Amino acid sequence: MKDVIKRFYDEVLNADDLDVADEIVGPGFAPRGGDVTGPEALKRTARYLRSALPDMRFDIEDMIAEGDRVATRWTLHGTHEGDFFGFPPTGKPLEVRACVIFRMEDGKVAEIWPVIDSSSLVGARG
């Protein structure tokens, strides 16, 4: 399971290889508030993040797996060049920290619950 989540970050988000989403995300995957499901939901999220932070990089600090769950703690780094969840671009480096819990089903990501450290979004405000 950890290997799938590592690919989620390293290959899809960091390396921008969106085709990998087809291999690691289940058909029912739907991030909160999204109207698209399955691999396309992850691809859409990755495109959005890349438009805001063209040089983005997720660094996984911790990863723990138990049962059908994988938890990660990561830091996202990038230059704020586009809209980032309502924050207009600043052109400055941005660092965001979060913890995310994934539920796996049949070896693929089925659900995701992110908890963003809102204090880390200070850099997005300029």
Q: What angle do CA 41, 17, 19 make, to 5 degrees?
A: 60
Looking at residue 124, its pLDDT comes to 61
93-126 confidence digits (pLDDT tens): 999 999 999 999 999 999 999 999 877 766 565 5
Q: Phi/psi at 118 (nearest 5 deg)?
A: -60, -25
Structural domain boundaries, residue 118: 2-125
Supply the pTM of this predicted model.
0.91
Tally of domains in the chain: 1
Query: Per-residue pLDDT averaged across 15-41, rounded?
Result: 92
Query: Per-residue pLDDT averaged across 59-79, rounded?
Result: 97
Mean pLDDT, rounded, of the chain? 93
Q: What is the CATH number of the domain that holds 101?
A: 3.10.450.50
